[in-house]
Structure 1
Amino acid sequence: MEAPRDVVRHPDDRAANTTAAEIGADLWRWADTHGARPDRGLARRLAEVVTTIAPDLPIAGATVAARYSLWTFLVDDALDDVTVDPVALTELAGRLTTLVRTTAATSAPAPMLDAMLAELLAELRLANAPTLLARFTDALCDAIDAGVEHTLRAQRIQQGHAGAPTVVDYLAVAESHVNYRSFAYLLLILAEAPPAAVPSPRVDKALVAASRAIRIANDLASVDRDRAAGRLNVLLLRQVDAAGIAAFERRIDRYVRLHDDLLRDAAEAGVLRRSLHVAVAVYRVTDLR
């Protein structure tokens, strides 16, 4: 489903629409060059979302943000596959997290996800924002490891070796797996923060609340797809009726308010508030796929 225009586009802004179209076309070409064949509609929608979240980013920065967004979708597809052998999932996660934490370049041929990530990391390191890059690195590694844990838990449940987790236990892993924190730090890096920039101590706490809001909103939008694939979803942990769905909607709103309150007067508030509000608005009408 295509995301509604009033959610992911700048109203009456022809230049912004043109920029999103250009970034979407670049995104598909970039993926194709690396051997990935994403849906063209997904590439276009991701470009529209990124240019709405960060309209002030120069096109080079918006392009990197869009490419990273697509890469996270591709790595999610790999880590979320409940049919994959656990050893293969663990090996993939180990390979990617090692790549994230290693600054030495290599000329050896790399698998698709590794090569795409290496290119993105090289772009981010050029920004010379070491503190923000360290936060990005930690958040991404946490997300990759959580992705494996999330899928292994789903496999154990399917095999009858474990019961469904509580909502609290589920979110403890799923909020990291949604990988919003790394995207938020990437935005701050691309916003050309000075090299010595240190994020407000409230940013990490705010991003936990944001991650929970996006995780639940994502689950609400993708429940049918997750059910068909045998993946975990907060709505599938127990029988949820219309009242239960409404309760989850209110929980999303509470997490968004907490995020905004924690960032009050913080220098990073503008871009992070816009990012969260746009992301939640989009997931309330589509899962982007």
Structure 2
Amino acid sequence: MSGAVTSVFGIEPGDHAYLRYAGDDERRLLRAAHVTAAAGRGERAVFVDAGAWGGHDPRALPGGGQVFVLTPGEAGFAGGRLDVPRLMRVLDAQADEAARLGLRGLRVCVDLDEVLAVTPETAPRGDGGGPGRCPLAVLRGRSRPPAVICHGDRARLPEAILPALAERHPLTLDAATALTRHPLLCVRPVRDPAGLCLEGEIDDSNLGLLARALETAPLDGRDLRLYVRRLRFADVGAVRLLAHAADAMPDGHRLVLHAPGPVIKAVLRHYGWDRRLVLEEGDRG
């Protein structure tokens, strides 16, 4: 979505983020947040992670194939270096499986301190062979890039390399704040043309608020206009609600989404809901 990314839930396909956490508790919370975000966006969460998953086999995780865990070796990491072609092949297979399951893409999460050999002189290793950008940056050049999220435990990584790791990622967030979803959904009426402006994030926690707002929204003639440029996140359930609201409009009336972000557009197209409402571009909202 548009706007500054401040939380795990705002990270989108094509983004490359570095999340700094402290200790196992924050690590577990980050894992859960990524699973929740992937579920909301209709994606598969792929973890490259050698750590324990609550004492059970991560392959047996629930979720209908929406969560998958790779060991560093399976993903192409060995001896602190990355085999990029191997990683590409692995992720292509993951993307194919995600598509077979009806999912729209991948959310790739990698714990850097478990897979890279880092020192103050080499952090991070650019293409697996020397200092430079994070090796996961190569994934942003794919035709359908995943969301790429690198993790690092501040307590385990050498303090001298932490600034370099942050500098070589386009987005750096601290887990303590990135796990918080804020602000919540804000709905306000607008005039000329009449409609509603939606700001913040929409998920299961505030679908009821959106549903009630749609029931009483002002109309612009025969159109119900929603200005959504300032939405940072909307899960599949939220977009489904908008599609159903469009179906419920009386004959001759339309539901118009003004300036929808790429995630909303992708969900609408993936489920065939884009034919039920009207999408308009522009800066209003």
Is TM more than 0.5 here?
A: no
Task: Give the greater-gyration-radius structure (CA).
Answer: 2
Per residue, is there more helix in 1 or in 2?
1
Per residue, is there more strand in 1 or in 2?
2
Q: TM-score, normalised by structure 1?
A: 0.28
Q: TM-score, normalised by structure 2?
A: 0.28
